[in-house]
Amino acid sequence: MKKHLLIAALAFVGVSVHATAANDEPISPIKPAANINLGMVELGKKLFFDPRLSKSGFISCNSCHNLSMGGSDNLPTSIGDRWQQGPINSPTVLNSSLNVAQFWDGRAADLKEQAGGPIENPMEMGFSHTLTVSLLETIPAYVREFRQVFGKDKIDIEQVTAAIAEFEKTLVTPNSRFDQWLLGKKDALTKEELDGYTLFKESGCTACHYGEAVGGTSFQKMGLIEPYKTTNPAEGRSAVTGKDADRFNFKVPTLRNVELTYPYFHDGAANTLAEANDIMGRLQLGKKFTPEENAKIVAFLKTLTGDQPLILLPILPPSSDSTPRPNPFGK
């Protein structure tokens, strides 16, 4: 009865009870997507799944950010046009709207800017913005849908990337067992998982992995205490800022759905959560977790898997006779 009164009082003064309950914790629950333009989402979903946005006609956004597999490709580094080996591990698209910036080095300010990158990257989709737009203009059903959604005479790349970004904004994963616990379901976690969470906090992991996405909000040096050894040439944030001090600074990845987004790190070198956690402990915190401690933290991390977006596979509008045919094997 007392608790009910308190809740009523808090609600009265405009304080969210759930937020209050979770406020003591460094991690906050994922909120369902809001302020969503559904017309843009439906169009963006089609574009996200459309391999005609690549030179080969074979690679779509979903190829490397596969929504059946945690929004990633589960490969160390991605496969691009003509099977080129990508330079870096494909980050999950899930909850990516919560990132401070996009790509491992944060070179895109937001999802819209990010969406334009892979299309014209010769290592990825190998196409161009101009070719994308002129191709879409030959597909009558796309022309109508862009007109309906954006109310303009002509398709342009800004509309394409805005629609993809709007779709990606819907790809949040609320309702993980950990969030249920944060929101008051105290039996949502086992003792081992809770112990793992306590250890995660006490060891200092939450210095970087905090907030709604349990990461994604800052750039940090990979190999803070001990250097990280890799053959991957990526330099991280310094490639964007030009500052030597930013060398090997990478965006802290989200740990949401981390059970699904193996392998780990920007080079995809860690195959398992236990391996990744062990390396993070040693290199970032100067801590050697015992196997028992490691298992507890891994158990906690697996509680961060939320409801995966329910995606009704889009049916893509067919090309017309005048649509350029893709070129998968020619130069």
Shortest spacing between CB 271 and its own copies, in angstroms: 6
Query: Please, which of residues 139-178 interact with its own copies by CB under 8 A?
Result: none
Residue 121 is a binding residue for its own copies (CB under 8 A): no
The position carrying tokens 């990845």 is: 253
Query: Minimum CB separation from its own copies for residue 107, in Å?
Result: 24
SS (H, E, C) 263-279: CECCCCCECCHHHHHHH
Question: 95, 241 in Cβ contact below 8 A?
Answer: no
Whether 292 is catalytic is: no
Q: Are 315 and 41 in contact (CB under 8 A)?
A: no
Least distance between its own copies and beta carbon 169 (Å): 18
- With binding defined as CB under 8 A, does residue 231 bind its own copies? no
Q: State the CB neighbour count (10 A cutoff) for residue 191.
A: 9
Using CB under 8 A as the binding rule, whether residue 116 contacts its own copies is answered as no
CA-CA-CA-CA dihedral for 138, 143, 145, 150, to nearest 10: 140
Contact 205, 21 (CB under 8 A): no
Stretch that binds its own copies, among 102-110, 201-209, 239-247, 272-280 (CB under 8 A): 272-280
Asked if 56 interacts with its own copies (CB under 8 A), we say: yes
Return the residues of window 13-52 that contact its own copies according to CB under 8 A.
Answer: 49-52
Binding piece for its own copies, criterion CB under 8 A, among 14-22, 53-61, 92-100, 103-111: 53-61
Q: Which of 262, 264, 289, 300 binds its own copies (CB under 8 A)?
A: 262
CA separation, residue 188 to residues 111, 192, 194, 262, 273 (Å) = 33, 12, 10, 24, 21
Site size for its own copies (CB under 8 A): 44
38, 149 contact by CB (below 8 A):
no
Query: Which of 93, 85, 89 shows the shortest CA–CA distance to 49?
Result: 93
Cα separation, 271 vs 262, whole angstroms: 6
Query: Shortest gap between Cβ of 218 and its own copies (angstroms)?
Result: 27
Quick one: 232 or 308, whose CB is closer to its own copies? Answer: 308
Q: What is d(CA 165, CA 163) in angstroms, rounded to the nearest whole number?
A: 5
Q: Point out the catalytic residue in the list 42, 120, 124, 235.
A: 124
Among 67, 280, 297, 304, binds its own copies (CB under 8 A): 67
Q: How far is the CB of 267 from its own copies (least distance, A)?
A: 13
The reply on whether position 75 binds its own copies by CB under 8 A is: yes
Which residues is 84 bridged to in the sheet?
Answer: 80
What burial letters (b/e) apply to 243-266, b meaning 16+ CB within 10 Å?
Answer: eeebebbbbbbbbbbbebbbbbbb
In the complex, least distance from residue 185 CB atom to its own copies, rounded to whole angstroms: 22
Q: Is 291 in the site for its own copies (CB under 8 A)?
A: no
Binding site for its own copies (CB under 8 A): 49-52, 56-58, 63, 66-70, 73-76, 79, 82-83, 85, 259-260, 262-263, 271-274, 308, 310-316, 318-319, 321, 325-326, 328-329
Catalytic residue IDs: 124
